Chains A and B, each alone.
Chain A
Amino acid sequence: SQQGEEDPQALSIQEGENATMNCSYKTSINNLQWYRQNSGRGLVHLILIRSNEREKHSGRLRVTLDTSKKSSSLLITASRAADTASYFCATGNDYKLSFGAGTTVTVRA
């Protein structure tokens, strides 16, 4: 079963704008991870946020986690054409890690 579900399914923005996507999950977690996938390639890990953290930054990325609402958001600031990709959240306890269906982001020049 896919525990994480991203929203929206697709997002189209102008270069320089911010992009925000959300992830909701169903059961308790130790951490939540965000990944990026360029077309036809493997996934690349972006950021991991632990269940006792509320916000985390990495470069132009900002991730928040609200365990009471079982949700997380990923914000990409000042988007670039190279940010065009699909973004997935992943959750799980123990060794099993499940992914959502992803948000496809298109950054227009």
Chain B
Amino acid sequence: DGGITQSPKYLFRKEGQNVTLSCEQNLNHDAMYWYRQDPGQGLRLIYYSQIVNDFQKGDIAEGYSVSREKKESFPLTVTSAQKNPTAFYLCASRTGKNSPLHFGNGTRLTVT
């Protein structure tokens, strides 16, 4: 089955540590996205990538980094510079700029 896999589902880290969230898709989509969702709120765009080896900052990129070395993979690193990293992180992909997004089931990150 084609889809987007985010792992792990739950992640716990101590403050001051960097952590990398995995996102893999086998949909052959060019574009990939990372969103952050806080309780009871909408999604905020962190980073997006239109094509391999290229990515752009979204609305809340500070304290995050990404890479896009392969079409299938778009990992997100939450660095120690992110002031409030505890949140639900969603990865998505789509074929092009006017097509629907396909989402993974998210990673819930808790930093204490």
Contacts and interface: CB of A to CB of B under 8 A. Distances in A.
Interface of A: 1-2, 30-31, 33, 35, 40-45, 48, 50, 88, 90, 93-102
A43 B42 contact: no
Given A2-B44, A42-B90, A101-B41, A96 B102 contact: no
Interface string B81-110: 000000010101000011111111110100
Contacts of A42: 4, 6, 90, 92, 103-106
A31 B98 contact: yes
A43 to B, nearest CB: 5
Nearest to A93: B97
Contacts of A2: 42, 44, 59
Nearest to B100: A45
B106 A40 contact: yes
Interface residues of B, number: 29
Interface SS of chain B:
strand
A89 to B, nearest CB: 10
Interface of B: 4, 6, 31, 33, 35, 41-45, 48, 50, 56, 58-59, 88, 90, 92, 97-106, 108
Contact of B106 (A31, A41, A99): A41
Contacts of B50: 95
Contacts of A40: 88, 106, 108
A33 B100 contact: yes
B103 A43 contact: yes
The 5 nearest A-B residue pairs measured at CB: A42-B103, A45-B100, A101-B42, A99-B43, A43-B103
A103 to B, nearest CB: 10
A65 to B, nearest CB: 14
